[in-house]
Structures are given as structure tokens and as C-alpha cells.
Amino acid sequence: MNTETIDNIKMIAETAREFAEKNIRPNIMEWDESQTFPKELFHQLGEMGFMGIVVPEQYGGSGLGYHEYVTILDEISQVDPSIGLSVAAHNSLCTNHIYEFGNEEQRHKWLPQLASGKVIGAWGLTEHNTGSDSGGMSTTAVKDGDEWIINGAKNFITHAISGDIAVVMTRTGEIGAKNNSTAFVLEKGMPGFTSGKKENKLGMRASETAELIFDNVRVPDSHRLGEVGEGFKQAMKVLDGGRISIAALSLGTARGAYKAALKYAKERHQFGKPIADFQAINFMLADMATEIDAAELLIQRASTLKNAKQKMTKEGAMAKLYASEACVRISNNAVQIFGGYGYTKDFPAEKFYRDSKLCTIGEGTSEIQRLVIGRDITK
């Protein structure tokens, strides 16, 4: 990166940090305990330009690149990973899918609303019986004149209740057939389009997760993204960028846990000195710092390729795999350094620990990342 880009990233980091400290930190545990999705906060994030980060300015976005995007997610997630998760899902899934595969009319219709944060985006791929096996989805779309009739349900969907616009993958061919999926944009208020059960989660509790339900929802053909049968291919390309998002979320979560543990280790005294001076704790902190730097370098490599519009499937999967698993290890060690206090809600370690696990599951499990990497290196 050149000097101008580095200076711009530093300025963006400071802006995101100040926003998070002022508007997010005071509410962390209240939102977590009540599982409140603070929708108004996301309108404010939109005013900051954080809800359409990589969307070009001509569509109302900030027109930034993936290095800046990662920086924003990192800073927000250091304070509250659940808010970082929702920012990531809105930007990289729903909004990015429309930008990457929508036509000009569709981009101008939906992207300005999403980028402003005035409307919240959701993205529907996962189903109750088809998690990683998304090619066998049961949600169907059947053509009826100039409309499509959609039936089925999606689960584990971020913003399923509070979202205003959802990009939904449907099956338009036979189960197991090639090119059997098509993507549509659905708007809340369409008859038959509702939300269902809200999940009671271990972590990321301020990021809303629930079902999307489709009961004979009539969708105009003008809401179809791309050609019939291209939905699954589109989703896989969207997830390439989504892996950078979850890697950045993991990085911020890990960094937040590490900073809390480092501060505590310097302040906590045992046997007449800070526990950070004891080799067992010192080595633990050293490993945590090293893994954070390694994760960041993998993320920056994937981001550079993404900015250059080069293939980065393997690199994105590597960044997501390593960063997410490092995040769990680092958050676990943070609890250990805090000792008994790490097991209480009076200190931040326990929440980072609970939040961290989602990073190894969301937008492709660690096992799926290894599958993606393995296929790439052996083909």
C-alpha cells in the first residue's frame, strides 16, 4: 500500500474506533443480555458510510476498498463482535450480492438505500436441512407469467426479522442438478414473506438471527438477480468476499480479547509483581500477539487480491480458517489469563470467548474452508 492509502486507513480506523467507543461500548452488556438488535445504531453507521463500504459512490456507497473494509470491521469488533458481525453481513452478503450481480436498474433501486443504512439487508442461503449442502435446498421458485412463486424457509439468517431487503437463493431446477439455483431480491411487506423463530444464541447476541419464511410469495421477474440457474455460482462468489469479512471479524474479536488480557496481566499482581512478568503468562501473550499478526497478514493478502479483482478463493479461505481458529484460541487464553474473573460478566473476556466460536462456523465452517483449500491446491 502507498503512503496515501496507509494514511487514509489510519484516519478511517480512528473514526471507527471513536464511533465504537461512544456509541457501542456503553451498551454492550445490555444488548447482549436482552439480545437486542440496535437497529437505530445501524442507521447511524450508515450516516458514517459504514453500511456501503465497498459500494461505488455512484450507487450511494463510500467507494472504499477491502483494506478499509477490514479496518472498520476490526475496530468495531474489538469493542463488540456482534455489531461487527451485522455490519459484515449487511455489507458483504446482501449489499455486495446486489452490486456484483444486479443490473444497473437494480443497483440504483436498492444500493443507495442499503448503503445509507436506512434499510437493513439480509441474505438467505442456509436451510434447516441443508447447511453446507446448499445445492440441495428445498426453497423453490416457480415461474408464473411475469412473476415467480417462492415457497420454503431459510434459517440462521442475520437480520431475518429487522431486515428490510433480503437476497434469497431458491431452487429453480431439480435437486442435485447443475445450475439449479436462482437468486431474488425480496422486500419486507410482500404477501407471504415473513420471519420466524429468533435463535437464542451462545454469543453474538446483539446480532439478530432468525428464520425467513416464504408462503406463496409472488416476486416480479425484475427482482431476479442474473440469469436463471446462476444463483449458486453467485452465492459462492459472494462467499469469497464473505470469508474476508468473517476473517476481519475474527481479527477484531481476537484483538479485543488480547488487549483486555494484556491490560489485566499488567495490572494484576501476584507474589509481588504483575502476572505479565511470569513466563507462563508472558509466553501466552506472545503467542496471542503472533497469531493476530499472522491472521492480519493473511487477511491483507486476500484483500489485495480482492481489490485487484483477481481470484482469491484459496487465499480468502485460508484467511478465514486461520483467523477464526486463532480467534477461538486467543479468546480462550484471555479467559485463562483473567482466571476466575474471566468467567464472570464483570470483565470482557467471557463475552469475547462466547462470541469467538461463531467465527469458525458462519459463512462456511472450518471444515468447508479446508475443503476449499484442499481442492485448490490439488487440482
68 included as an active-site residue:
no
**Beta strand extents in 221-344 (DSSP E only):** 224-225, 269-270, 273-274
Instruction: Work out the widest C-alpha separation in the chain, in whole angstroms.
Output: 79
Pairing between β-strand 165-171 and β-strand 121-124 as defined by DSSP bridges: parallel
145 phi and psi angles, rounded to 5 deg: 70, -125
CA dist., res. 67 & res. 54, Å (int): 10
What number of other Cβ atoms are within 10 A of residue 246's Cβ? 31
Encode 204-244 in three state secondary structure: CCCCCEEEEEEEEEEEEHHHEECCCCEHHHHHHHHHHHHHH
User: Could you tell me if residue 63 is left (phi over 0), alpha (psi between -120 and 50 degrees) or otherwise beta?
Assistant: left
CA dist., res. 5 & res. 365, Å (int): 33
State the sign of the Cα–Cα–Cα–Cα dihedral 75, 81, 87, 91: positive
Active-site choice (174, 267, 363, 367): 363
Query: CB of 68 within 8 A of CB of 9?
Result: yes
Q: Which residues are tagged catalytic?
A: 363
